[in-house]
Structures are given as structure tokens and as C-alpha cells.
Amino acid sequence: MLVAELQQVLMDHEVTCHRTCFSLQLGGAVLDSLSELGSAAAMQEGALLRVLEDPYTVRDARLHLRHVRDLLRSLDPTDAYTGVNGSSLSYLSLYTQGDMEIEGAGRRHASEKQSVDCSPPDYVLPGCKDRPLVPLHPMREDWKPLQCLRVLTVSSWNPPPGNRKMHGDLMYLNAVTMEERDLNITASTRGFYLNQSTAFTFNPKPASPKILCHNLVDLLGQVSPAFRKCFSTLQKKRVLQHPYERIATPFQVFTWTAPQRDHTLDCVRSEETHTIRMGQEEHTAGQSRDWNEELQASRELPRNSPQERLHRDRHLFKTNSDLVGAATRGAQAVVDGNVMAINPGEEPRAHVFIWNSLFFSLGFDVRHHYRPLGGDAAAHAAASCDLRGVQAYASIDQQGLHTIGTTVVDYRGYCVTAQTIVPGILEKEQEDIVVYGSNDYGKTVLTHPRFVELLEQTSQPMRIQHHQVLDHAHLPVDLCSAVETKGILGNDGRPYILDLLRAFPPDVNFYHAQEGAEKEAEPPGEFRNPGYPALPDRNSLGFPRRHRHGLANLRAELLDAFILHRYEIFLKMVSEGLRLLDASAEGQEDPERGPCTRRQAAEEDKAEELVTKNQGVVEEGLPRIQAVEEGGDPGTRIQAEEEGGDPDTRIQAEEEGGDPGTRIQAEEEGGDPGTRIQAVEERGDPGTRIQAEEERGDPGTRIQAEEERGDPGTRIQAEEEGGDPGTRIQAVEERGDPGTRIQAVEEAAEPAGVAQNKAPDQELQRRELMRRACQTVGSISDFGFDIRFNPDVCSPVVCFPADCVQDVQKHKRLLKDAAAFLLSNQIPAILRDCLDHTALPVDGGSLTAELHLRGVNVRYLGAVLELLEEAEERERLGHVQRIAVSEVIIRSAKHIFKSYLQEVELSSLSSAVSHFLNCLLSSAPCSDSASDELQSRRKSRRRRSHGNRIAMVTDTLWARLTPGDLWSKIRKEAEEYYHYTLKSKSFQEITERFGLQKISLLREMALKTGIQVQLREYVFDSRHRPVFGEEDVVNMFPVVKHLRPTSFDATHLLQQAQEAVQHGHLKAGTELIGQALSLFSSVCGVLHTEVCLCLRLLARLSYILGEYTEALSHQEKAVLITERVQGVDHHQTIQDYSHLALYCFAGGQRSISLRLLYRARYLTLLLSGEDHPQVALLDSMLGLVLHGLQEYDLSLRFLHNALSLSSKFHGAASLKHAQSYHILATVYESKAEFRSALQHEREAYSIYKNQVGADHQSTRESSEYLKRLTQQAVLLQRAINHIYSTSPANCPAPPRFTSPSIPMILQQLNLTCNIILIPLSTKDIEDLRAELKGEKRAQVQELERQIKLAGRGCIDH
């Protein structure tokens, strides 16, 4: 723990929160704030820390004023709505009421039904068509205004004159108390005191009585009783908040809707606005940070030990987060016109800016650099492509190679790129400082040995082929990147690479108009092997298609999947070929074919095997867990290296994707008949262990592949016995996580004694087999698997040497195969994932994430929709079609909106935005002019006609847009960009055709363009009044894309933990997740998505082990982080709410569980509507929880809706549908409606019997339940008959009516949420619980010790 972290704890504590300027002293020595607390020599058990008040400086006084302001506004959500100071919203405590403690399972159960109001709001009930917006931001009780001061601002007497500076005056403040007393306060080096100045008289002498306090809060508390009382109340409410609700987020989160709030006086806000416009950082008194030096110095920190890497990662993350904040503020200032351009003489589109040591440029092609690639469209796309390239190289983290900090900000229709400044780059012309690459897109190409050496080391993880191109003198030059990549040697001696827009290979499915579509043709030579499985013709699928720019690149995830696919083919070919060669050498014949046709038959068998190879990597029934690759993209990295050509050949295949901890190494030592080959996978915990051993002296090779229980991956094993005892090929595919891992080891060397007896031509045949296999899959080597791409092969301006023509054709073919693989494998895989509900998109953001996970770009939305419309089960994919169509419409509208907004003056911004939204979403006619609040109503006709000339020009630019014109532009944009035809004549028609929700479209439009609308109810169906007015557009916020550095060690541990958990090693997995959580928290802070992932996994493990208290604690933190970091209406927030509801129900918090599910259902309805499988899941959970609360009628209402939705999305014969029938039967049984219960259970039994057979456990349980229901129905009918009969016979025994069984309901909840508990013995569970409790006790003791030390220091002070 750093000393600064302990100081921050004291500044956040209720007792010491108002102190900011102090230091900690131990043993008479002041501790350095950046040193480790435990590194102090005098730090021992029972040591006493003293808090010493330090003298103020101007910076300290400003920091103290800001801190006091934050304390006074700590309960005010204005900053969260405005999107400043790292504030964001969270509403979890409103639904949990701050009480997440476990109630006993039977505690208050009898009276809970009477004490809990289970009725939901009307807009949450099934069938309701209303989608209100106001409940998205419910009003919290602790947000009510609690005013301590009327005014606190900086005095106009600032700065202090010279003679007062000599007395220690730093700055002057004005305050007005609640008692209406005006105070003039002096901030001095010793503290704060009242002076005798007034509004018009300057008298800095201390006022009587002379009160000097070291902090401002104590001074105000002494002079104002109302302040003292209100501040005490404020602090009590503040400490009731969860700490995660008060901590600032590292990256600012913006909300798309906000209420209209009163604008209040705020001295800190006004001062920060002034310093931002001046290009200064807050609290630094005019100092400007050198962002590039901070970033590069952080990267150059040592990283040999875990502690050094932790220190380095922490510095990198903090510097990057500060850089993103500064870049965002600077981009807003640039667009708002508050920064002077460094080239004011040029046209506005060509302006570039320097602000706060950052370089800002606009996304326009002003110097015609991008003219061959598409002009402005290419310049706009280049910003995002460059950012992805910078992220890829920064993730590889090659020592000695430097990239610049980059942030892309979309604001008010402009794309602004903010970059750190390379030392010396502004002192020379760019043509003079580029030493590597091309500055004119291939016309002049340079190379540099230093850059070639560094980039050569990154070529394998980036999958870029080392290649040669011709320079302007037609001489070959070496490159390890695209020609657009520029290498610059800065004045600081560091090598920098810039313009990484071609870091990934081009997508040949799309071509730019000036490039033209290259005709499909088979390349000459032997690359096209007859045994290669033919990919579909792209022309038959409508590709290649025209695109508006030439920067369409393939995603890294696609390259990973394509290489894995080719690797499988490679292993199959070599394995089968070697088997056939050995069989031929032994004279074996195919019993069904003669010896003359044996070779031909072998080739046919191999071709058939390759053609029937499953080309998709489908993970069915497995959790989708995020995988991060060290190589810069979240895919799988495969490396095959071959060194030498002698018997000591060493072939190594490494895969570092999904689990960087996996290492497989195969070594063969030639000449030794006792060759031992071992492949071990090390996962930090006993994992899958694969071992192949060849025993000495045994001519028969033994091959063994073992896969331990718990790994659902595929095992492929090829064995060869006799003939060649030294050759063994093993392929293992493990699919425990999305980064599918295939490990292949080939040893072709042979023991010396056996090799001497072999025919000399057999070795040549084997080499020829390997060569043909490598050529078939497109490997750059003839003796090992190694696929790389040449990013320049499709460039129209790049020339290659004559001896490289064949290689160029080979790489073109490889790119075309990768593009065809995307169409034939990846897009269908997305639809399969949606069909089996492995992927469950709820809105445009989640659909985009699923596309990217498969390596599919958003520009393929049209192709996805075309395939979806032709699918046999398109009815089950209706929700995907609806979301995809909405995404096409909104993204097309966003493209139009950006150019539309660039022509709008700032004074008309709210009118223009509201007019555009009305044209898009309103059903009423839109007016063609906007009101001007400065225009006088009383004007003569002559003056009015003359004064409206400027207004008429404005009207022609934006105000004359009509709904019809906008819809025509959207249809044209969708056709040109996404190649999808919107077959509707109007926006209203398409919303009715696909069932689109206008409130959902408004949300998507606002999130993608940065519009913030007022929080109120909008009537979209009104035919007489436009939906939006000027006041409904509250603000415009930036949409920011930035780098995301993280901790590699923590990522490593997390992936090892996921592996261990998937193999059933819960104990080791929990330990590893705890370590990863600690590292992520240390590097990124607690408010980070990776921390949230760790907490989510810990909560799930705790729930499985029955530790409901721990599960609730972890999941509560996860929900808070998700709301704060990703948004209160993010699709992940819905998932986290539903999981927390499950854990609450299991822990006895029935009412809280119900409120959380109501919130999750409302958010789902707002995002996607009721016709969605997520609603079916939530309705099933709601029905079960209400059943447990004995609200049978309300439960049946939700369960019937879930039954209908499950039939649509899962199928009428699915097991999910059978479960819905069974749940309904149990509720009807509780209501004593046995006839309805029997009817529904018979349906469930029929589905179980048809799907899993009569002997399955589910079928038997359903049969027994039917018998019990029948008996109960008979008993009830006999009792009823006896009541109405007149015979004096004995009364039959009535049926037994029992309350719902909570364990049975919990079991059904688990099945509904796809949770299958792992059976463990009681001893294993108790041992794991004891170990976890011991670790937690140690952590608590350490924390208590640190707090105790801090408390002693406070008491001593």
C-alpha cells in the first residue's frame, strides 16, 4: 500500500475527509507519498503514524477548495448528468435499500406475503405497450437538496497584491452562509481566516474575532451554525453510500438522457472552465504536462519482476486515463472554437491545433492524401483504423518500439484525433523526418534497418509477412508493415511508428470505386491443391461489393479463426499423408482396391476427408468468456517455427490466445533411439496434461493423448505404428474458452538405427508431403505451418519486384480465402450462436459485440440480414432481425447527421438537433424554420425582410429537411454502405413492419451521436405536434474511442482461473481469480470492466458452493461497477441485475429479488421490447419468485407470457418449453387447480419423452409428478362430491395443500438461468469453505491493521 493511498483513505473517511494538506510522519521522519508504506524502516507492529499539517501553496489551496466543493456536492447527481469529474450514475441501492444481509430461509416467511408489496408498475406487466422513459432515472431520496452554503466563490480581489503575498496570502474567497451573512475569507500558507474586505473595499487585515483554521470546513463551522448542522447531516448520508458510488471512474461515462436541473453558482466549475480554455491542467497553476514523455517513460520502466510490472502497468494506465480526459476536453474546445489553430491562414477544414501538449486534427482529406482511397470518407475511417493499429502494437509491447498516445473523439459531427507529439516532429517537414515507410502512399518508399529489426519481431503476433516493394528508383526495399506505416526517429532518440491504418490486411470483399473489383481467377502454380476444400465462390454471394473508401480491413478475430481453421486442415493432411506413406512402404493394400489404384484411392480419401472437414469452430453449451491475447487482439495466436534442416529439427507451436499461460513444446533430439516427447500444459493448477512417450528399442510408436474430465474440447489423435518409429503427429483441440486452442506436434526426425535401413526416397516423399501441405494451406514456409499476410498486395500504387510475382499471387489468394471464410463460416456461426442462445443480443451495442467476436465487421450487416431472411428458422431469429434492421437505420442516420451538423451554427444547435430528431422519429409534420430567442417580435415588414437574410441561408442548410427527404437519404445510405435495401416507403411503415420501438431507436441514435435529451415522456404517435422541442435537447457529449491498457499478469491469472474452473478445480480457480482481482484493482482501480468480470466469477463460484453471503457481496459490487462504468441501461447491467436477483432469492431476500427483476425487465423492454428471449428468461424468473411469495395470479401472468415466448424462440418441442409447462403446473397445483396442472404437465411429459426418451430422469420425474397430481385431483373431486351429496358416508380425506417449496423453486431458477451445480462431496465443500474463510480473515486482518495505523495517526493529530 502506497503512502498516498493511505492519505486518500483519510481524505475519504468521515472524520478526516475535510483535511487535504497534510503529511504522515513515522518515527520523526516524514514519509514519501509515492513510497510503499511497508518499506519504511520504522514500520513495525504497533507503530504510531502522526498526521502533520503542512503549509499551503496556491496549488494546495485550490485543491482544498475543490475538495470542499466536492464534499458539499457529494449527494448531487448534477456532475453525473453533465459528465464531468469522473461522476456517473448508479441506482442499485435504490432497489436493495442498502441492505444486502442474508435473512434466514424461513425468517418472516409466513408474514412476508403480507408485508411485501409484490405488485409491479403497470409498464412492467406483460402485454403493456407503454415504454416510459422517466423510470430509467428514478429519483433517490438521498439526492434531495441539502444546502450548506448559499454561495462559495473566488473573490474578485484575486490575485493578492505583492505586499500581501509577503504576508502569506494565497487567494481570497467569498461565501454567503444560510444566515445571509457575507464572508470574505483569506487563504494563507497557515490556513483560512476571515478578513475585513467588502464588495467594494479591500482590507485584508484579519476580522474580529480572529479565527485561524487549517481547513475551510472548520472555519465555516465556527462562524455558521447552520453550516455545521447541515454538513454533519450531509456526511452521515454520504457515508451510507457504497464506496463504489463515490469513487471517480477512470474514463468519463455519459448518459443519453438527463432531467432539467437548476443551474447553480459554482466557483470551482467556473475556474476549471477558464483553465481548460487556456490549455492548462487542473490544479497545476499553468503547468502543461508532456504527455508523450510521460507515456514513453512509463513504457521504459523495468518489467523483470512482478512488482516492477505492477508498478509499470499502474503508471501506464494512469497516464493513459489522464491523457484520454485531457484529449476529450481538448477536442471539445477545438470544435467549440476555443483553441487557436497553428495554421489560421488555411481553410477551416485544414486547421490543426496544439493544446496542452497534444496535437489535434480533423477528419478531412484536405491535402488529398486520401484521394486514391476515398477522400473524406477514407480520412474519417483512417482515424479508427489507426487507433486499432496503435492498440495492436501497444498490446504486443515490443521493447524499443514506441507508439504515440491516440484518442479519437466524435463531437458535434466532427471526428477529432488527438495524439501525443513526437519530439522534433513539428520542427521539420514530414518528408524530412520519415525514415521508414512511405509519406505519399507508395510513390516513395524508405526503409531503415532499426525499424526493420524491431518490426520483424512483431511480425509474427501481427501476422504480417516480411516483404519487398519497389521504391521510386525501382529498387527493392524491405518492409515488415504496410507502406503507409511511417517510422520516425524522434529528437529523444526513440523510434516511433505512426499511421498504423493498415496494421491488418485488407478486406477484399469490398473494393473502392477507383480501385475496381479484381476479377476472381485461379493463381498459377501449385498453390491450388486438388485436395484443398473449395471455398464458396464469393461472386455467387454477391461479393466483392463496392465501398466508399479503400480502408476496409479484416478484423484480428477473423484472422485468428481463419488460421485455426487452416491449422486443422494442415494437421489432417499431414497425418493422413504420413499414414498412407507408411502403409505403402509396408506393402499394405486397401482390401477394397487393387494395388494399382492404391495411390489414387489414397488421394481421393484425403480429398474427401478435407472436403467434409467441419469448417466452423462452434462452441456449444459453453460459457462465453472473454479472451485477451498478448498479441494485440482478442484472438488466438499460433506460432510455428522451424530451425535448420538436419535431424535435429525443432518444431514449436505456441498458442497464446484465450489462455496466455498455455505452453506446449515438442522437442526431438535426433540420433537417439530413446526419443522422449512430452507436451505439458501448465495452467497454474492441475489442468489437461497430454503426454506422448516413445520407449527405447520399440519399433512401434506409441501415441497417447489424454484429456482430463471437465474439458469439453475435441480430441483428435493420429497414430502410426511400425515403419517409422520416429514420426508422430498429434492434434488436440481444446474448446474450454472462445480462444480455441489446437496443439499440434510433428516430429519427422528418426532414430539413427532405423533411418539407415530406410529407402532414401521415402524421406523425400515425406518432405514433399510436408511441402504440399504447407502450400495448400498457404504457409509462408515449405517445412512448417506459418501463415502471414502481406498488407500491400491489394494496393494499387505499390509495386513489387519481378521475382515476387508468384508470392504476391499466393498472398492475394490467401486474402480471398480469408474473405470467403468470413462469408461461409463466420456469418453463419453468428446465426447459429443466436439460435442456440449462446449469443443473446439485446441492442445495437451487444449485436456489434457479437459480430466483432466472430471477426465480422459492421459493414456486413446487410449480408447478415440477407442470410437471416433466407434461413429456415428465421422466425426464431426475429429479435436479431429487428435489432439488425434498427442498427442499419440508425447507423445510416448517423452518417447523415454528422454532415448535417457540420453546417449548423452553435446558436442554432438545439433547434437543428431537435428538427433532425423530429424528421426521424416524429409522426407529425415538421416545421421548416426554427425560432430565434433573440429575434424581436415587434418589427416592421421592411426590417423583418432585411434581417432574415441570414436566417434564410440557415434554413436552406438544415431547417428545410423534411421526413421524406431524410428517409430517402437513409435508404440510399443503407443501400450504398451496408448493401441492404429498406423496402419501405416511410419510416413509419418500416417500424410497423419490423415492430421497431421508437424509444429504442432514440436511445441508439443518442448514444451513437452524443445527443443528450431531456428526461420526460415522449409521445411519438402524435399526428399534430412534433415530438421534440428545442428544450428537449439538453446537451451534446463526445463519443470517445481510446486505448485500453491493462495488466498482462492479471489477464494471465484470470485466464488460468477460467481454465481451472472449467476443469472442475474450483479451489485453484478461486485463488487465481482472487489474485487477478487484486492485480486489476491495483493497476486499473476498482471501477474497471476487468475487476467486474473477476467479481462476477467469484460470485458465481460462491453461489455454487452455497456461500450466498459472499455471492451477494461480490455480485453487488459487480452491479455497481457495471452501472458506473458501462451505464445504467447497458445490456450487461441487465444480466448482472438478473444474477443478483437469483442470489438474493437463494439468500432469503425475496422482496429485493423481485424488485431487481422488475428493474431488469423494464430495462429489457426499453432496449428491445417484449418480443425477445431475454424477456422469456426474466418472466420465468419472475413467475418463480412470485410463486415463492405466494402471488399465484401474478405469477401465472408472467409464466404464461414466458411460455408463449419460449415456444417462439426455443421451439415448441424444446426442453425449455417443457420446463415452462412444468413451472406452470406447479403454480396451478399450489392454487389447487389440478385440472390445469395436469394439462400442462402432460405437455411437459410429452416433450421430455420425445426428446430424451422414457428412461431419462426428467421424463421419470414428470411421470411421477403426473401420478401425484392425479391422486390430488381425485381426492379433491371426492371431497367436493361428498359436500354436495346427501348420503351419510364418511368424509374422504381431503387433498393436502402445501405452500411452495423454496428449494424446488430455487432448483427451477437455476435451470432457468442455465446453472448446473457441480456435484462435490461434503468434505470438499467444507475444506474449500474453510480455506476461503481463512484467506478472507487474513485479508480483513491486514486491512484492519492498516486502518488501525491510520486511526492512530488521526487520534495523535
The 10s digit of each residue's pLDDT in 58-92 is 989 999 998 998 888 888 888 899 998 899 999 99
DSSP, collapsed to helix, strand or coil, labels residue 1326 as helix
H or E segment and range at residue 810? helix 805-821
Residue 1134 identity (one-letter amino acid): I
Average pLDDT of span 1259-1274:
89
Chain centroid to CA 150: how far? 42
- Per-residue pLDDT at 739 exceeds 50: no
> DSSP E strands: which ranges in 1115-1268?
none
**Looking at residue 674, what is its pLDDT?**
37
Of the pLDDT bands very low, low, confident and very high (cuts 50, 70, 90), residue 614 is: very low
Three-state helix/strand/coil letters over 33-98: CCCEHHHCCCCCCCCCEEEEECCCCHHHHHHHHHHHHHHHCCCCCHHHHHCCCCCCCCCHHHHHCC
- Per-residue pLDDT at 480 exceeds 80: yes
- What DSSP letter does each residue of 436-447 carry, written as one string? EEESSTTSSEE-
**Looking at residue 513, what is its pLDDT?**
67
Of the pLDDT bands very low, low, confident and very high (cuts 50, 70, 90), residue 26 is: confident
**Weakest mean pLDDT among 266-270, 282-286, 1203-1207:** 282-286
**Looking at residue 142, what is its pLDDT?**
61
**Weakest mean pLDDT among 148-157, 652-661, 806-815, 1216-1225:** 652-661
Q: Residues of the chain with pLDDT > 90: what percent? A: 55
CB 1202 within 8 A of CB 1195: no
**Looking at residue 700, what is its pLDDT?**
38
**Looking at residue 903, what is its pLDDT?**
87
Q: pLDDT, tens digit, for every residue of 522-553?
A: 443 333 444 444 566 677 778 899 999 999 99
Of the pLDDT bands very low, low, confident and very high (cuts 50, 70, 90), residue 366 is: confident
Mean pLDDT of the residues in the chain: 80
**Looking at residue 429, what is its pLDDT?**
67
Maximum Cα–Cα distance across the chain: 117
- Per-residue pLDDT at 221 exceeds 90: yes
Q: pLDDT, tens digit, for every residue of 1276-1329?
A: 777 777 676 666 556 666 666 667 889 899 999 999 998 877 555 566 666 666
Task: Give the Cα separation of 441 and 621 in Å (integer).
Answer: 47
Measure the CA dihedral 566/570/571/572, to 10°. 100
The C-alpha cell of 576 is what?
493422413
Q: Residues of the chain with pLDDT > 70: what percent? A: 75
Task: Please indicate whether residue 1217 or residue 944 has the higher confidence score (pLDDT).
Answer: 1217
The C-alpha cell of 643 is what?
530451425
* Strand-pair category, 690-693 with 676-679: antiparallel
* Strand-pair category, 495-498 with 402-403: parallel
Average pLDDT of span 494-523:
78
Q: Count of CB atoms within 10 A of residue 1340's CB?
A: 10
Q: pLDDT, tens digit, for every residue of 1064-1107?
A: 888 889 999 999 999 999 999 999 999 999 999 999 999 988 88
Angle at 620 between CA 619 and CA 621, to 5 degrees: 125
- Per-residue pLDDT at 663 exceeds 50: no
Angle at 979 between CA 363 and CA 500, to 5 degrees: 35
Of the pLDDT bands very low, low, confident and very high (cuts 50, 70, 90), residue 267 is: low
Q: pLDDT, tens digit, for every residue of 332-364?
A: 999 999 999 999 989 999 999 999 999 999 999
CB 389 within 8 A of CB 501: yes
**Weakest mean pLDDT among 234-248, 363-377, 535-549, 1011-1025:** 535-549
Q: Which of 526-540, 684-698, 872-886 has the highest mean pLDDT?
A: 872-886
| Residues forming a β-bridge with 652 | 641
- Produce one character per residue of 502-520: b if its CB has 16 or more CB atoms within 10 Å, e if not: bbbbbbbbbbbeebeeeee
